[in-house]
């Protein structure tokens, strides 16, 4: 190739020089740094505001249960036999004499009447269906009388109402009328006895066995505990409770009959049934109603196996033992204040060390005796971080045994406010 040539290096050497680098003012750099710090600090300050406030927590200061303070009552138990005292809705106050089944004599008729009334219910004062005494049943009367049984006179063709028959069974304790009712209900005495035992099983009377509807047979056996179970159920039947409270009644043929239970009408006694044989001794299943602090309280009990040479002595002893037990039970029952008005029930802990309390609006009073356990239940709805002072919020209930709960409203203590924005930012630092 003709002519002169140039190298790449020589061409680059001819390019214009690069412009000099600019220097940033120190004031500009400082401003940028401040701006970045402000933005970072703002983000740091705003960060805690993005998160919701935690819900207040509630810590109970009352226990879930307590016992009525004081020494448990000591009851005057009989020297022999068995006994138990129970207060409806509260539980068993005490028992004596173990749980070995023993003969119960005419106390058996409580189950006889209970079965009849559950199979053939009666309203209070209602006479109910009629039954007719057969010639065979009437003919058995002289032999029954010769054995010294507790009876009412009957005649063939006699028409008697269910109510009148039950009065004969429960007041003068007529063995023959118990058998007549059993045959009327089930077709035979044996079939009725099977029904009695089936009902006992259903009621949880695990130590009871019936062999007859009157209790004359000493192989009819039970315990004080089982008879208290039955007595409570029987007294819940209005017609039963009405009859056993009567001191006398008038029935066909026999005329006016008296209640063998001489305690009826005394010490609040409203029933239930006596019993006595040589094998069983003196027996009594009883119910009483007493007033405690303006409240009606029902007491049910049984005393079995009181000794004596004959029925009058046996019954006198069982009546005396029962009177002592009832009076001591009534004396043991009191109104007890468990929670006072204004008493703190719970502590409220809010966000950032804020807080308040939950207090009882009124008092909690229960009927019972020292040593009786009481369940406490505080029902407190969820709280927000803002609480007004003295606002009603929830309920406190106390329950003794199977009784109705006693309740009072709950109220907040001091007001509680949610923390301010500045407090939240400051706390976050």
Residues recognised as catalytic: 106, 109, 173
Tokens of 290: 């007493």
CA-nearest of 148, 159, 164, 195 to 311 is 148
Instruction: Quote the CA–CA distance of 158 and 277 in Å, as a whole number.
Output: 29
Tokens of 72: 């448990």
Instruction: Quote the CA–CA distance of 92 and 224 in Å, as a whole number.
Output: 12
Tokens of 14: 């001819």
Within 10 angstroms of residue 172's Cβ, the number of other Cβ atoms is 21
The backbone torsions φ and ψ at residue 92, rounded to the nearest 5 degrees and listed phi first, read -85, 125
């Amino acid at each position: 190739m003709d002519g002169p040539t140039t190298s790449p290096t020589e061409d680059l050497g001819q390019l214009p020089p690069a412009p000099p680098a600019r220097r940033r003012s120190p004031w500009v750099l400082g401003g940028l740094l401040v701006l970045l710090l402000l933005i970072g600090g703002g983000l740091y300050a705003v960060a805690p505001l993005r998160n919701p406030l935690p819900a207040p927590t509630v810590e109970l200061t009352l226990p879930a249960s307590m016992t009525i303070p004081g020494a448990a009552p000591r009851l005057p138990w009989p020297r022999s036999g068995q006994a138990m005292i129970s207060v409806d809705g509260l539980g068993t106050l005490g028992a004596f004499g173990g749980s070995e089944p023993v003969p119960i004599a005419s106390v058996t008729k409580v189950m006889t009447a209970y079965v009849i009334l559950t199979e053939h219910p009666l309203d209070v004062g209602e006479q109910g269906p009629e039954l007719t005494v057969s010639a065979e049943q009437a003919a058995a009367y002289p032999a029954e009388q010769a054995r010294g049984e507790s009876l009412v006179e009957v005649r063939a063709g006699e028409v008697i109402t269910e109510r009148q028959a039950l009065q004969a069974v429960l007041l003068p304790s007529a063995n023959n009328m118990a058998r007549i009712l059993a045959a009327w209900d089930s077709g035979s005495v044996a079939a009725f006895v099977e029904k009695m035992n089936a009902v006992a099983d259903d009621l949880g009377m695990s130590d009871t066995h019936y062999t007859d509807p009157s209790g004359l047979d000493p192989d009819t056996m039970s315990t004080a505990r089982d008879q208290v179970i039955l007595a409570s159920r029987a007294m819940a039947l209005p017609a039963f409770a009405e009859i056993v409270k009567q001191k006398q009644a008038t029935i066909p043929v026999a005329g006016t009959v008296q209640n063998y239970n001489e305690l009826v009408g005394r010490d609040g006694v409203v029933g239930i049934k006596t019993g006595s044989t040589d094998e069983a001794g003196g027996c009594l299943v009883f119910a009483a109603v007493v007033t405690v602090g303006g409240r009606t309280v029902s007491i049910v009990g049984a005393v079995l196996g009181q000794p004596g040479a004959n029925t009058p002595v046996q019954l006198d002893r069982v009546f005396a033992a029962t009177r002592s037990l009832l009076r001591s039970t009534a004396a043991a029952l009191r109104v007890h204040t468990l929670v006072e008005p204004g008493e703190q029930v719970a502590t409220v802990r809010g966000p950032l060390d804020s807080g308040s309390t939950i207090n009882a609006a009124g008092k909690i009073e229960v009927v019972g005796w020292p040593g009786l356990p009481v369940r406490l239940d505080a029902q407190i709805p969820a709280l927000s971080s803002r609480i007004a002072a003295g606002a009603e919020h929830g309920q406190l209930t106390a329950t003794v045994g199977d009784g109705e709960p006693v309740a009072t409203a709950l109220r907040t203590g001091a007001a509680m406010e949610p923390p301010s924005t500045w407090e939240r930012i400051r706390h976050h630092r």
